[in-house]
A and B are shown apart, each in its own frame.
Chain A
Amino acid sequence: MGLVKKKAAPELAPVLAPAATGARPDPLASLEDADAAVRRDAAHALGHAALPGAEAALARRLQTEGDAGVREAILTALARIATPDAAAALVPFLDREDAALRNAALESLQQMPAEVAAPALLPLLDHADADLRIFAVQGLGSLVHPSRADWLARVMERDADVNVCLAAVEALAEAGSPEALSSLETLARRFPGDAFVAFAVDAARSSFQGR
């Protein structure tokens, strides 16, 4: 999916301002147009000037949208709107069979400001599905937030699934979080004899210690 800046550019908002001609179509209605180019333009317009109900309409369209360009426009629009409703609208897509769609949904969430994305992702840390918890960890791990290291440390200390824990290690290692060292040691003790865990913990430990 396309990249967007963390905050919408206010100077782009007039894209949806009522035209003098009054002929500009309603983008909410145009999302259901038979022409993919019209749907893509509608999503683009909604991303620049969110109308009430835009998040739900975009998410509804995304559920059935088959055109890759329109999908990308919808995901970009939701990332740009970046309201709590937009974040919440993306969460169900993390559970889709379509790998491209679920990865793109995660990427859209990661592009939102941390104070918007985190409340949508944090509840997933307690979800019964480990794959969803992994997505939550990857999402939270990419956010710039003062509680980020604490969230990930708690995962390493408590989550029962080794792959969820390893996702936390990966996220911590990427940013370097020395305060999580004790949680790393805890993780190594929780999964003794797992060669990959030992390797990942050792790599993260080295990364934290600047070696």
Chain B
Amino acid sequence: MSGTNAGGPRILVVDDAVTVRAFSRRVLEADGFVVDEAVNGIEGLERAMATPPDLVIVDVNMRKMDGYTMLRVLRRDPGLRDVPAIMISTESKDSDREQALLAGANWYIVKPPRPEMLVEAARLLTGRPPDREDAP
């Protein structure tokens, strides 16, 4: 898995809201993930290209480059096209989910993120097994 290190799978959180980035970092690091951050799509792409993550979590509405555009660029990059992506947004309409999936998202979370949902989606998309007590 690209970018994985001893600390666990690497997740890139791309959001212009500092609170969302900080919350995601706290929740995901507590579950053993390594978290990197970017404040918009352009910075997100730069970071992803410098160190390919195992998962990106990307907001929709951001200045400079929105999340849809970032995902579309990501999916065209041979080195990053297979990186799984969660799109996270305040927008909960079916058309928003559809637009996210069309842009290349593998998962869609409506804000505010619930910690357990964030962790479960991250585990699923990075191939990490669920907690032992959750296992069948």
Contacts and interface: CB of A to CB of B under 8 A. Distances in A.
B94 to A, nearest CB: 13
A109 interface: no
Interface residues of A, number: 26
A33 interface: no
A102 B90 contact: no
A200 interface: yes
B63 interface: yes
B90 A134 contact: yes
Nearest to A101: B66
Contact of A103 (B19, B62, B112, B114): B62
A195 B63 CA distance: 26
Interface string A178-211: 0000000000000000111101100110000000
A166 interface: yes
B44 to A, nearest CB: 14
A131 interface: yes
Contacts of A135: 61
Interface in A140-199: 162-163, 166-167, 169-170, 173-174, 194-197, 199
B61 A199 contact: no
Given A131-B91, A197-B112, A170 B61 contact: no
Nearest to B40: A103
A191 to B, nearest CB: 9
Interface string B18-44: 110011001000000000000000000
Nearest to B95: A97
B99 interface: yes
Contacts of A204: 19
Contacts of B95: 97
A103 B69 CA distance: 12
Contacts of A203: 19, 22
Residue with the highest number of chain A CB atoms closer than 10 Å, among B19, B66, B69, B99: B19
A99 B62 CA distance: 9
B60 A99 contact: yes
A120 to B, nearest CB: 18
Nearest to A163: B90
